[in-house]
Structure 1
Amino acid sequence: MTTNFMPLLYKNPQPLNPEQHDGLTLNLSSGFGFASATNSVPLVIEEFGATCRDYVIVFSTGELPMPLVVLGVQPTHNAYVNPKGEWAADTYIPAYVRRYPFIFSETEGSEDLTLCVDVDAASVGKGEGVAFFNDKKEASELTQQGLEFCKNFHIQLQQTREFCEALQAADLLVDQQASITLAEGETQNLSGFRIVDEQKFRQLPAETLQKFHERGWLGLIYAHLISTGSMGKLVAQLKHNPAPAA
């Protein structure tokens, strides 16, 4: 699994300012080709309900596991983005992807956040598109929307970390791997991720269950467990958009 959390997909994020980026525009119809070369992206807990219907939700390995949505089997292939840069129809698009090319940068030792944009994104340039700044060099509606989106995402990210810390503290996450049989009969292995151990979950102390209930975390765990039955949807998507031959 792809496990680098930030800034996956980004090449050259720069603090957005009118002095440096006046005249820069965003092509809103450029598609999702920027997300075509990853088999997973980060997820925040607000998305679990929508995501579990279309994808498998897993957790990354590492000191603090974080939720990931599985998008493919091979590390550099997203089965949900076709060669034209189109995301699979009628399928939920993760917020991490929808946020691009905007992103917050955090100053070490400070709570200050700075809105950045990936200036190397194919959708960013000085051609046709929506400007980041107006004629008065003020943030355009596009930039204000990007700022608001990043604010909400950042808040949800903190809540997601808290949820994952609780899973870790309760020792609920276990390493897992999956063997996937593709339509052609070929078998591929997916590894490097964690899932909630159902047996450990059922054996949680009443006090811990009560805490999870009060925080709204039980529903998140159920959504995750339900999503693990969606591997067949990934196989079906790989049939429509197979990974390129090695």
Structure 2
Amino acid sequence: MNITPPFGYRDIKALNRADYVRYSTPTDTPPFIKDTAIVPLSLGEMVPAAWHYPLVFVRDAANERVSLVAMLGLAAGENLFNTQAGWKSETYLPAYVRRYPFCMARVSVNGQADPNLLVCVEKDYVADDAVAGTRQLFDGEGRATQEWQQIELFLREYEADLERTNVFCAELLEFDLLEPLTATVTRPGQDNWQVTGFMGINEKKLMELPEAVVAEWHRNGWLARAWLHLFSLQRLQRLLQERGNAPFPAGNA
């Protein structure tokens, strides 16, 4: 059995009923989030996240698709919201971070992809015995604890929201609404800095969608999410404020 780990996860395994698991916390964030400038986001998170981050799209050339992400920094590998004390207070913590070390992963057996997702956990967070900081999620008879039932529900609901997000992103490609997004940062006494590699919705094309499409997008909430993305781009200014006077590295993001 071959398990494909999601973005940022290193070495995952299927969750076993006998496992003892250590959780990540707001002050003990996942290792991968400490040096990444983006984090995946779902449609259901866009409303709270848009108040804190620019919400943009990135292209996955290998799979010919795009994904929705929140920008955490203005340079490659830069996360302006993760500190030694944990995630910055009063800032929305994306569900992708909150679910760690758990995830729903795709599995293939003998080269054949299984259509069902498997509940997995990062191996570094698993112990065979009840060591400090770990807990068992199933009782002695193999029944899920109430705590695990809540976690599993969150994982499955979040995964379903990610699937809805994928459909939304596919529609953006279908109607050719996405274009390369470039932001030029100008600060006195420093060279201009260009933030590239992201995509955004073309507002003119969005306003020219056929009426039937607009009505459908309004019913399923996509129209509001498209405008919310455009609104969130104003948060680029917040990223600049979070950087303070820190110099940009050589080259562009």
Bin of the TM-score, shorter chain as denominator length:
0.7 to 0.9
**Partner Cα distance (1:86, 1:57) in 2:** 22
| Residues 141, 197 of structure 1: alpha-carbon distance in 2 compared, 3 angstrom cutoff | same
Query: 4+ runs of 1 displaced by more than 6 Å?
Result: 243-246
Written as runs of structure 1 = structure 2, the 5 A alignment for 1:78-89 is 78-82=79-83, 84-89=84-89
Unmatched 5+ stretches in structure 2 = none
Q: Deviations over 1:133-160 (max 9, x none)?
A: 3551544444333211110111101111
Q: What letter corresponds to residue 40 of structure 1 in structure 2?
A: I
For residues 189 and 145 of structure 2, the distance between their equivalents in structure 1, rounded to whole angstroms, comes to 49
Q: Distance in 1 between matches of 2:100 and 2:190?
A: 36
Does the 8 Å CA contact 1:182/1:239 hold for their aligned counterparts?
Answer: no
Partner SS for 1:111: strand
Q: For 1:26, which of 2, 23, 35 is the aligned residue?
A: 23
TM-fit CA distance, 1:130: 4.1
Contact 2:23/2:134 (<8 A) preserved: yes
Change (3 A) 1:26 1:229: closer
TM-score, normalisation: structure 2: 0.83
Question: Which position in structure 2 is the counterpart of 1:64?
Answer: 65
**Alpha-carbon distance in structure 1 between the residues aligned to 2:133 and 2:143:** 17
8 Å CA contact retained: 2:138, 2:148: no
Q: Partner of 1:3 in structure 2?
A: none
TM-score (norm 1): 0.85
Q: Is the 8 A contact 1:24 1:132 kept in 2?
A: yes
CA deviations on 1:95-135 (whole Å, 9 max, x unpaired) are: 111111110112344332221111225xx556322413355
Distance in 1 (CA, whole Å) between partners of 2:45 and 2:172 is 17
RMSD (CA atoms): 2.6
Rounded Cα–Cα distance in structure 2 between residues aligned with 1:127 and 1:243? 43
Mark the runs of 5 or more structure 1 residues left unpaired by the alignment: 1-5
Tell me what 1:114 maps to. Answer: 118
Identity %, equivalent residues:
27
Higher strand content, 1 or 2: 2
